[in-house]
Amino acid sequence: DAKTTQPPSMDCAEGRAANLPCNHSTISGNEYVYWYRQIHSQGPQYIIHGLKNNETNEMASLIITEDRKSSTLILPHATLRDTAVYYCIVRDPTAYSGAGSYQLTFGKGTKLSVIP
Amino acid sequence: SQTIHQWPATLVQPVGSPLSLECTVEGTSNPNLYWYRQAAGRGLQLLFYSVGIGQISSEVPQNLSASRPQDRQFILSSKKLLLSDSGFYLCAWSVRLAGARNEQFFGPGTRLTVL
């Protein structure tokens, strides 16, 4: 799985859009970008994923640059409940190299604090 | 919609005691199931995964074991807990697709403290 780089922390005012960047300059052609988040003392939560087109669901939007070397997760109207650590990972869902292929490896992520 | 349950939510156990954590998934069939451990301030460690009833793969040698007696039930056990078994235990599931490692959906977790 390719390496990602995220800012360690960000603040966002409640009700405003939260834009969380992720750099993945070594991403390969078959690797997707996945976003998860982990609210304190809870299990990780899947948010969204994409390959090269922008994606939107009920939780967020994912914008992937044309060269696919970076992406941005957008929470359009952040609430206090969105305060969490957000993880960006890149994976090729079809690559299988043994049992360890299922391991989800999160980096340090971005700690998003939504401020009232 | 699919939901995943874990219990208990918290557990305090003495060293040397047995352990049984249960995970069940609703709203899907034939899922892949996973047990992870997250130690304080650290990342996720995959302990076991299962692609079907009775099929368990272990990622790390340890005093823990897993079983899948039913399609949507995954159990994590130990005969004798160690202090190092303390942590946040997470069960997860994913849609089973041949040759694909797709997104995983996590349960609420069990926080285990071994004293």
HEC states along A87-111? EEEEECCCCCCCHHHHCCCCCCCEE
Backbone dihedral region of B55: left (phi > 0), alpha (psi from -120 to 50 degrees) or beta? beta
Distance from CA of B81 to the nearest CA of A (A): 22
Backbone dihedral region of B79: left (phi > 0), alpha (psi from -120 to 50 degrees) or beta? alpha
Q: 3-state class of B57 per DSSP?
A: strand
What per-residue confidence (pLDDT) applies to B100? 66
Stretch B49-63: mean pLDDT = 86
Higher pLDDT, B10 or A41: B10
What per-residue confidence (pLDDT) applies to B99? 62
Distance from CA of A48 to the nearest CA of B (A): 9
Lowest-confidence pick of A61-65, B56-60, B70-74: B56-60
The partner residue sitting opposite B103, judged by closest CB among A43, A49, A92, is A49
Residues 70-89 of A with CB under 8 A from B: none
pLDDT > 90: percent of chain B:
71
Stretch B56-81: mean pLDDT = 91
* Yes or no, beta carbons of B101 and A101 under 8 Å apart: yes
Which residues of chain A carry a pLDDT beneath 70?
1-2, 97-100
Stretch B80-96: mean pLDDT = 93
